[in-house]
């Protein structure tokens, strides 16, 4: 019986090691891509400049996960890379630290930080950046079309998709875009309990007061466009598949041992 138990333990350890190796097998030397899609009420926003900054390298840690190390231009920012960047407040806090550091480095006497890459959204509202090293990237808007603006954010390449337990090297994000100026026909009023929006237009102005300017590109309220999955730093992902697989192995071995013992008992009787 002791021999069988020893064999079961050895098999479990071997399976756990194999599963750890599988989970840990993300190739951080592989290059990825990042596509930024800008929309407003499902309409593509073109001619908007996007800049990306390579903020931190992605490195293997000793627990089957990924850790991040600031690149040389951002080493003096003292940015905290251990926060859960899937939480918007944590992502925004990191953005504030990094953009502040970029602004400080642009002062006379300091070394300016230049974007890693830049591009402009096309007719589909897309700007794609290829040949990216694995790590964290700060994405900002460098220019606009005069009507919309994009909020800055930090994203990881590759991006871990928790639903499929898959490292995606072809990352696509859809950040929230806002109008530079509010709609002319919408008024907002505040009460003590909540905030309501009225779509009733204000009284028409006198014809002599009508401004001579083109109408807005899109005159519809903005939907809530989520970021999608964002990087969760400092995550150890190996325990779930390891212990799950180990449990299945032990159950199978227990069933085999029980069958053999039952067979031996039947032969004696």
> Residues 197-215: pLDDT tens digits?
344 455 555 544 444 544 4
Give the range among 46-60, 145-159, 238-252 with minimum mean pLDDT.
Answer: 238-252
pTM for the structure as a whole: 0.63
Residue 130 maps to a domain: yes
CB count within 10 Å of CB 70 equals 19
Flag whether 78 is in a domain.
yes
* Residue 145 main-chain phi, psi, to 5 deg: -100, 10
Are residues 14 and 70 located together in one domain of the fold? no
Residue 111 in domain:
yes
Q: Which of 122, 125, 156, 124 is nearest to 139 (CA)?
A: 156
CB atoms within 10 A of CB 92: 15
Tell me, yes or no, whether 193 lies in a domain: no
Report strand pairing: 49-60 vs 135-143: antiparallel
Q: Could you tell me if 111 and 160 lie in one domain?
A: yes
Structural domain including 5 reads 1-24+238-269
- Give the chain's domain count: 2
Whether 242 and 227 share a structural domain? no
pLDDT number for residue 37: 96
Task: Let me know whether 81 and 140 are in one domain.
Answer: yes
Task: Give the residues across from 54 on adjacent strands.
Answer: 137
Residue 42: which CATH number? 2.60.40.10
Residues 162 and 245 placed together within one structural domain of the fold: no
The reported pLDDT for the residue numbered 219 is: 37
Classify residue 204: in a domain, yes or no: no
Q: Both 86 and 114 in a single domain? A: yes
Whether 114 and 12 map to the same domain: the answer is: no
Q: Are 15 and 38 contained in the same domain?
A: no
186 in a structural domain: no
For the stretch 74-121, pLDDT in tens is 999 999 999 988 899 999 999 999 999 999 999 999 999 999 999 999
161 within domain boundaries: yes
Are 143 and 48 contacting, i.e. CB atoms less than 8 angstroms apart? yes
6 and 127 housed in the same domain? no
Residues 145 and 233 both lie in one domain: yes
How would you classify the pairing of strands 148-150 and 66-70? unpaired
**Helical spans, DSSP H, in 49-189:** 88-105
């Amino acid at each position: 019986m002791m021999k069988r138990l020893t064999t079961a333990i050895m098999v479990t350890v071997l399976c756990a090691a194999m599963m750890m190796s599988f989970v840990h097998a993300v190739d951080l030397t592989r290059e990825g891509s990042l596509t930024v899609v800008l929309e407003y009420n499902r309409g593509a926003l073109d001619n908007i400049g996007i800049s990306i900054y390579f903020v931190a390298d992605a490195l293997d840690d000793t627990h089957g996960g990924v850790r991040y190390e600031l690149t040389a231009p951002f080493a003096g920012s003292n940015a905290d890379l251990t926060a859960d960047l899937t939480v918007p407040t944590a992502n925004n806090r990191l953005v504030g630290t990094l953009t502040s550091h970029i602004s400080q480095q642009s002062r006379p006497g300091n070394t300016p930080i230049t974007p890693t890459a830049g591009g402009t959204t096309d007719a589909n509202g897309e700007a794609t950046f290829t040949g990216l090293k694995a790590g964290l990237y700060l994405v900002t808007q460098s220019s606009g079309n005069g009507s919309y603006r994009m909020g800055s954010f930090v994203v990881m390449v590759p991006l871990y998709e928790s639903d499929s337990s898959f490292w995606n090297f072809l990352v696509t994000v859809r950040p929230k875009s806002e109008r530079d100026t509010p709609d002319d026909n919408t008024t907002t009023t505040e009460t003590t309990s909540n905030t309501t929006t009225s779509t009733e237009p204000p009284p028409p102005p006198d014809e002599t007061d009508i401004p001579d300017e083109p109408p807005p590109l899109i005159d519809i309220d903005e939907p809530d466009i989520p970021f999608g999955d964002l990087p969760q730093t400092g995550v150890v992902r190996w325990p779930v598949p390891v212990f799950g697989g180990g449990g299945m192995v032990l159950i199978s071995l227990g069933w085999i041992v029980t069958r053999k013992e039952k067979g031996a008992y039947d032969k004696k009787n």
